[in-house]
């Protein structure tokens, strides 16, 4: 093992590079697991890679991956957004209900309304968390209830049915190019932009700084309140967007849309390598985490395993992922210590 350590140290110039390398490996790990999983499943059940099935997995993952992008921004700054499921539900209903209310309303306007609703929710979350300095976990736990309650009181007993939606809108979730839905491509681009911004823009870097050490971030003059506020606002807007996509995908929207999504999204984010106490991880990793979870759900079905096994798998995966992360962190700390020892005897 120690020769491996030395190799690792020699391969990477500075401690920072070493850390980066290890966590990139952690992200590639998810992709490897994903590929192995798909390969095994396809080996047993070749129909798993059928066009229809791939499309279903991708569409399912699209919504979770999109939510995971917003959640990553929040989690990276050592907060949590539990309201995404409720925001998705509210946005999905209100936006799809517009087609019934206003005849011939252009689809982009519907998207804007959905994003606007999400943004409003996110702004409320962010304002309370950042400026009243209340833990975001508690605030979004409360808004999870409140937004869902508002959703239910608006809907009453009714629902939006697929037949009331215009064909163009439903097509968003079904049109595809070489088996990949357009909407998945769009979301992939959004996630790529999000990952790049988080990694390379100042505001993004500052979110990581806040997450890894709030006190240090404050001392170097990072406007914590403003950054956390923006993270929540963006997360809300993204959940709003995801709501509209949800509506176009499923067609039937009632008051239970998106219930329980918040925990799946947090699971996806953590499985994707984002540290739950912030400062580490990327939106791309989180997106792959979401893809892995959706793949598992569908693969179990394809393998003829009862769908009842799905949540247990997700839970096990999450526990394994954080245990692995912990192991990596300890190992890394050990390697770094040895290294310091060698350089400064």
Partner 1 sequence: MNPEPVVATDVSTVTPTSSGAELPGSLTSGTGEPQPASTGSARSFGIRGLARWEVALFATFVAVFIVGRVLSPEFLTNYNFFNMGLSNGELAIMALPMTLIIVTGEIDLSVSSTLGLASSLLGLLWMHGWPMPAVIVVVLICGAFLGAFNGFLVTRVGLPSIAVTIGTMLLYAGIAEILLGSNIVSNFPATYTNLGVYGVPGIGLSYSTVIFFVLAIIFGVVLHFTPFGRSLFAMGANQEAAIFSGLRVKRTKMILYIVSGVVCSGAGILYTFRLSTAEYDNGTGLVLSVVAIVLLGGVSIFGGKGSMVGVVFAVLIYSGLLDALLLTGFPQQASGIVIGGLLLLSVLVPSVPEFRARFRAGRHRLRKQQVPEAAIVHSGSVARPLEASDSGNEVGRGGPSI
Q: Which residues bind partner 1 (CB under 8 A)?
A: 78-80, 128, 131-135, 137-139, 141-146, 148-150, 152-153, 156, 210, 214-215, 218, 221, 223-226, 228, 255, 260, 263, 266-267, 270, 276-277, 306, 308-316, 318-319, 322-323, 326
Q: Could you tell me the two tokens for 295? A: 């793949």
Q: Could you tell me the two tokens for 250? A: 């499923």
Q: Of 72 and 255, which has the nearer Cβ to partner 1? A: 255
- Please give the DSSP secondary-structure letter assigned to residue 64: H
Q: Which residues, including other chains, have CB under 8 Å from residue 43's CB and lie 6 or more apart?
A: none
Q: Of 150 and 188, which has the nearer Cβ to partner 1? A: 150
Shortest Cβ 25–partner 1 spacing (Å): 20
Q: Of 172 and 268, which has the nearer Cβ to partner 1? A: 268
Shortest Cβ 216–partner 1 spacing (Å): 11
Q: Of 188 and 322, which has the nearer Cβ to partner 1? A: 322
Shortest Cβ 118–partner 1 spacing (Å): 17
> 181 near 173, Cβ under 8 Å?
yes
Shortest Cβ 312–partner 1 spacing (Å): 2
Query: Which runs of consecutive H residues, i.e. helices, occur in 77-223?
Result: 84-101, 107-131, 136-155, 167-171, 182-200, 202-212, 214-219
**Residues, the chain:** 345
Shortest Cβ 248–partner 1 spacing (Å): 25
Q: How far is CA 211 from the centre of its chain?
A: 17
Shortest Cβ 314–partner 1 spacing (Å): 5
Shortest Cβ 108–partner 1 spacing (Å): 28
Q: Of 49 and 263, which has the nearer Cβ to partner 1? A: 263
Nearest CA-CA partner of 57 in 65, 45, 68, 69: 65
Q: Give DSSP secondary structure letters for 198-235.
A: HHHSHHHHHHHHHHH-HHHHHHTT--HHHHHHHHHHHH
Q: State whether residue 104 is helix, strand or coil.
A: coil
Shortest Cβ 199–partner 1 spacing (Å): 22
- Residue 157 CA to residue 148 CA, distance in Å, equals 14
- Residue 10 CA to residue 4 CA, distance in Å, equals 10
- Please give the DSSP secondary-structure letter assigned to residue 180: E
Q: Of 5 and 310, which has the nearer Cβ to partner 1? A: 310
Q: Of 56 and 313, which has the nearer Cβ to partner 1? A: 313
> 64 near 184, Cβ under 8 Å?
no
Q: Of 124 and 165, which has the nearer Cβ to partner 1? A: 124
Is beta strand 180-181 parallel, antiparallel or unpaired with respect to 176-177? Answer: antiparallel
Q: Of 46 and 315, which has the nearer Cβ to partner 1? A: 315
Shortest Cβ 254–partner 1 spacing (Å): 11
Sign of the C-alpha dihedral computed for residues 228, 234, 235 and 240 taken in this order: positive
């Amino acid at each position: 093992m120690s020769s491996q350590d030395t190799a690792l140290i020699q391969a990477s110039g500075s401690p920072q590079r070493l850390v980066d390398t290890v966590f990139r490996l952690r992200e590639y790990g998810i992709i490897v697991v994903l590929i192995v999983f798909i390969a095994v499943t396809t080996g047993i059940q070749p129909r798993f890679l059928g066009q229809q099935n791939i499309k279903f997995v991708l569409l399912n993952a699209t919504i979770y991956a999109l939510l995971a992008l917003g959640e990553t921004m929040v989690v990276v700054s050592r907060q949590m957004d539990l309201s995404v499921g409720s925001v998705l539900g509210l946005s999905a209903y209100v936006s799809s209900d517009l087609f019934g209310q206003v005849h011939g309303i252009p689809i982009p306007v519907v998207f804007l309304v959905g994003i606007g609703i999400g943004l409003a929710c996110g702004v409320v979350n962010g304002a309370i968390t950042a400026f009243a300095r209340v833990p975001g976990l508690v605030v979004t736990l409360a808004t999870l209830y409140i937004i869902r309650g508002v959703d239910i009181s608006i809907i009453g007993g009714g629902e939006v049915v697929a037949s009331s939606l215009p064909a163009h809108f439903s097509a968003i979730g079904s049109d595809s190019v070489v088996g990949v839905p357009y909407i998945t491509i769009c979301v992939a681009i959004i996630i790529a932009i999000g990952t790049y911004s988080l990694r390379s823009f100042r505001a993004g870097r500052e979110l990581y700084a806040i997450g890894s050490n709030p006190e240090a971030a404050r001392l170097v003059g990072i406007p914590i309140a403003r950054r956390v506020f923006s993270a929540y606002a963006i997360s809300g807007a993204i959940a709003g967007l995801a709501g509209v996509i949800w509506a176009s995908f499923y067609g039937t929207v009632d008051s239970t849309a998106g219930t329980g999504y918040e925990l799946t999204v947090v699971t996806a984010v953590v499985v994707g390598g984002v540290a739950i106490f912030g400062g580490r991880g990327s939106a791309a990793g989180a997106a792959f985490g979401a893809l892995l979870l959706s793949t598992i759900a569908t693969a179990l079905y394809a393998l003829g395993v009862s769908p009842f096994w799905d949540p247990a798998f997700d839970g096990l995966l999450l526990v394994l992922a954080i245990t692995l992360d912990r192991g990596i962190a300890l190992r890394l700390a050990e390697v770094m210590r040895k290294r310091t020892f060698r350089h400064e005897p």
